[in-house]
Amino acid sequence: MKTKIFTLCGIFFVVTALILVNVVPAMANSPHTEGSSTHNSIQLVPPLSDPSKANYHSITINNLLDPNNPNYDPSGIDRLKSTPFSSPDNTKSSIISPMDTTDHLWWGTNIGTNSNLFGVYAYQSIYNTISLYDDGDALFAPTMRAPNGDPLELVTAYTKSGTTTNSFIQLYSFYYSNWDDVQIPIDSTFISNYVRSGDYVGELLPNSGNTEWHAYLYNWNTSTWDGIGSWEPNIGNTMGWDMWEEWYLADAWPTLPEIQSNYLTVRVGNSGNDWERVTSTYGSVDTTGTMTSEYPYGFLYNYYEWYVGPSS
């Protein structure tokens, strides 16, 4: 009798668990069940669908290029001068061809130019312990851009300046063809506000008319989306991506941790809350770049979770 009772209870709990799993929305606050085991403690937050709900001009953001910031550093923009397809302005640019694939490699997910996609969201790995070897070296990983007119690229940037490897959140403007006035150091304040389980949550989203775009970070301490940078005009039909990209590392590959992008998601339609993973419906592996065999890399789930590293 006891055996039967325990068996029936076990069946009841299994069936109940299956029902609960199937009714929980994909973007609900549930434990991370996809990707690497190192991210199992991640809690999902719903993407921002309405820009008016975001917090702008947050005092928690230490933007070194904001003149109103007590830590304002106007020389900071010179630390990063590159686009995904042009050479950084550094000491190596006069020695090495800018388009030589041995010193400019990239790999990751392409997001197609679907005219019904309006925004991109992802959990992105971030570190403040990465060390590059040579002055002028740069690693942009992950670096993300939405399709369908997004003028902004949200960049996790590591650059070597002199003997120091700088770690920043940076915005590149394709509208102005230059780095935007955003340079946020990955310091203890940033980690406290924006990082959980080694990831920050970033998003690029247009206004309701898809005439302007803005970048956002999720603030865990305030449970709000913080806008960074400023609104920039739509620049027409464009490809989106989520990539691992390096400049000038090949002559001295650094020891790197595993860098991941998780839950890469796009908004379908410019209204409502229909966010969908970047599967083969919306994405593909990038085939325009060349990738090094120095680090292991691949997809955990095609094409919305990828990894590069760690060094072997």
d(CA 221, CA 207): 25
Per-residue confidence (pLDDT) for residue 157, from 0 to 100: 95
Per-residue confidence (pLDDT) for residue 82, from 0 to 100: 41
Nearest to 241, CA basis, from 200, 206, 283: 283
Angle formed at CA 181 by CA 254 and CA 269, multiple of 5 degrees: 90
d(CA 56, CA 202): 15
Per-residue confidence (pLDDT) for residue 43, from 0 to 100: 66
d(CA 227, CA 202): 10
List 203's β-bridge partners, or say none: 121, 216
Per-residue confidence (pLDDT) for residue 68, from 0 to 100: 58
Per-residue confidence (pLDDT) for residue 272, from 0 to 100: 80
Nearest to 218, CA basis, from 263, 284, 271: 263
- Report the chain (312 residues): mean pLDDT per 10 consecutive residues: 38 36 29 41 83 82 57 51 40 40 84 90 97 93 96 95 92 88 90 96 95 96 94 92 94 95 95 92 91 95 97 84
User: Phi and psi for 93 in degrees, rounded to 5?
Assistant: -65, -25
- The sign of the CA dihedral 83, 84, 85, 87 is positive
CA 11 remoteness from chain centre = 41
How far is residue 307 from each of residues 174, 212, 301, measured CA to CA in Å? 26, 31, 10
